[in-house]
Amino acid sequence: MEVMKTISNDKNGNSNGKSIPLQDRREAVLWLNLDLVESKLISLLRELVNHSGFGELKVHVRILKDGRKEVILSFGKEYRFVLTRANNGITEKLKN
């Protein structure tokens, strides 16, 4: 299944009617410590799924003043991570 997104050229958001594949327009920013967040999130999710009762897992992401991002995983306790751009804001095209 190919995801399509309509793009617009004017400031008012009026669409020019052209659609291009979304995967061709995505760009990724490389973040330091993202692997730590991913592994902790997967670990908490597995714990939640294997639990015999009800549980709640929340993910909060906010942008800090200096351009870093704070990720808080709430699951009874809170796990806080601060992500820093690995490539000084240079984006790279995703390969699909």
Q: Where are the domains of the chain?
A: 29-93
pLDDT at 48: 93
pTM of this prediction?
0.60
Which pLDDT band holds residue 71 (cuts at 50, 70, 90)? very high
Which pLDDT band holds residue 57 (cuts at 50, 70, 90)? very high
Which pLDDT band holds residue 41 (cuts at 50, 70, 90)? very high
Query: How many angstroms separate the CA atoms of 95 and 8, rounded?
Result: 24
Strand, helix or coil at 31?
strand
Average pLDDT over residues 17-41: 71
Average pLDDT over residues 50-70: 93
Q: Among 47, 43, 42, 32, which Cα is nearest to 81's?
A: 32
Do the beta carbons of residue 34 and residue 69 sit within 8 Å?
A: no
Query: How many angstroms separate the CA atoms of 6 and 15, rounded?
Result: 7
Do the beta carbons of residue 70 and residue 31 sit within 8 Å?
A: no
